[in-house]
């Protein structure tokens, strides 16, 4: 943990008014019947004359990589404000006694109050640190012993993909691999594609299957926000996940596209996080991009949106700012299945054809016909005279005479 002390005030000499007992600033409290016991205040005016607290920033830097034999580590963390202690808080050793003794307003506190905490989060303050060791903290021969056991204790691994909305090729490739893997593991691969999709969408895992560490299925969810596709997947690291990672290699994104692949082979997990979403990927389509949803002020009004839904949105947005899966784990940015379901209920809209398929291109012949129709519709229509009727003889000169 790093502390950023950028708001410490300079010490000032405090010379109180001379009294009969000397020049101590607290001499006037010796005869005050409203004096509060020093053990009930956060700052003891009789023991300390200096200000007891100045706000500062706090940045947490994980140094786990040092235990893995690395000698150079580059870290970056956000700066959060430190909690400001209450000037009148009670001592926790008083076992629940919160009643102050004395006259109201007669309380010992620092004469110079601390400054307000800095707006570190609003300003986007970050701290970068580079740690270099001359020798490894852990010998090289002991590093493999620190890694988790893949097949016994922690058999699962996770991967995160998020890419541009227009990249339907990668989307199809991932979905086909997930579908074929789950169908083979559940012995449903003998059915045709239409029947298989219906079977997987209605298949419910039992409690034994959810807790099983040998069932080779891929679980997770698929989030669509109009700008990006998010896919968070998990499975056996020595089984389905290994096949998925071998089939989908890391590629450089094209100009103007987003393609991020977060995976770390040294990380493994003991349980599934998305077993409650079953074998068919839970697909959530948001009515707006996540960045626009998080900019709505009503989202942060209490009881307007469920807390799990808001937490899921913030976690997914935070993932887009991270570049390593290890940082995602350390920041606890993996949303749970309950959070995903809550987000789907609050902001989910029906899926569309364009979410999975590109718009069909119109052939040249069809475009020519369409242009001819547009030209004909744009031409002014000719006005044809109406039907000529025989004139009516409505004049009778004899009647007028």
User: φ and ψ at 57, to 5 degrees?
Assistant: -100, 150
What is the residue extent of each domain of the chain?
Answer: 1-146, 148-354
Q: Which strand (E) or helix (H) includes residue 302? A: none
Global pTM exceeds 0.85: no
Whether the per-residue pLDDT at 23 is higher than 70: the answer is no
Return the DSSP state at 348.
B
Higher pLDDT, 40 or 358: 358
Identify each DSSP E strand in 124-253 by its residue range. Answer: 126-132, 156-164, 219-224, 228-236
Return the DSSP state at 300.
G
Residues facing 162 on adjacent strands? 230, 260
- Residues 217-238 have pLDDT tens digits of 999 999 999 899 999 999 998 8
Maximum CA extent, the chain: 139
Tokens found for residue 122: 């609003």
**How far is residue 367's CA from residue 361's CA, in Å, rounded to a whole number?**
10
User: Mean pLDDT in the chain?
Assistant: 77
**How far is residue 155's CA from residue 160's CA, in Å, rounded to a whole number?**
17
Percent of the chain having pLDDT more than 90?
22
Beta-strand relationship, 219-224 and 282-285:
parallel
Tokens found for residue 83: 């909690």
- Rounded to the nearest 5 degrees, what angle is found at the Cα of 386, between the Cα atoms of 384 and 388? 130
**pLDDT band (50, 70, 90) for residue 357:** confident
């Amino acid at each position: 943990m790093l502390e950023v002390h950028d708001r410490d005030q300079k010490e000032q000499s405090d010379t109180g008014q001379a009294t009969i007992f000397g020049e101590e600033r607290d001499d006037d409290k010796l005869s005050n019947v409203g004096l509060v016991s020093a053990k009930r205040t956060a700052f003891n005016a009789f023991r300390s004359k200096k200000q007891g607290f100045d706000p500062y920033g706090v940045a947490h830097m994980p140094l786990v990589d040092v235990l893995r034999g690395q000698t150079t580590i580059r870290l970056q963390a956000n700066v959060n404000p430190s909690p400001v202690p209450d000037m009148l808080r009670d001592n926790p050793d008083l076992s629940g006694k919160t009643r102050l003794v004395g006259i109201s307003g007669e309380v010992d506190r620092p004469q110079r109050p601390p400054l307000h905490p800095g707006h570190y989060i609003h300003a986007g303050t970050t701290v970068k640190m580079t740690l270099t060791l001359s020798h490894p903290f852990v010998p090289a021969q002991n590093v493999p012993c620190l890694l988790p056991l893949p097949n016994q204790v922690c058999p699962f691994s996770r991967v995160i993909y998020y890419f541009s909305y227009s990249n339907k090729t990668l989307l199809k490739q991932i979905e086909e691999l997930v579908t074929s893997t789950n169908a083979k593991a559940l012995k449903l691969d003998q059915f045709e594609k239409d029947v298989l999709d219906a079977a997987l969408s209605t298949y419910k895992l039992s409690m034994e299957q959810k807790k099983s560490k040998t069932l080779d299925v891929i679980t997770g969810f698929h989030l669509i926000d109009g700008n990006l596709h998010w896919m968070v997947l998990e499975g056996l690291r020595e089984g389905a996940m290994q096949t998925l990672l071998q089939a989908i290699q890391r590629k450089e994104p094209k100009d103007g596209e987003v393609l991020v692949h977060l995976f770390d082979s040294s990380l493994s997990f003991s349980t599934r996080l998305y077993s409650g979403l079953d074998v068919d990927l839970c697909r959530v389509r948001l009515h707006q991009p996540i960045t626009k949803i998080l900019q709505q002020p009503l989202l942060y009004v209490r009881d307007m949106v469920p807390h799990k839904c808001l937490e899921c949105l913030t976690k997914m947005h935070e993932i887009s700012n991270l570049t390593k899966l290890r940082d995602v784990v350390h920041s606890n940015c993996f949303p749970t299945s309950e959070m995903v379901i809550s987000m789907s209920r609050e902001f989910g809209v029906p899926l569309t054809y364009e979410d999975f398929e590109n718009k069909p291109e119109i052939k040249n012949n069809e475009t020519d016909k369409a242009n001819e129709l547009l030209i004909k519709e744009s031409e002014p229509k000719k006005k044809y005279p109406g039907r000529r009727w025989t004139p009516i003889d409505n004049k009778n000169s004899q009647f007028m005479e």
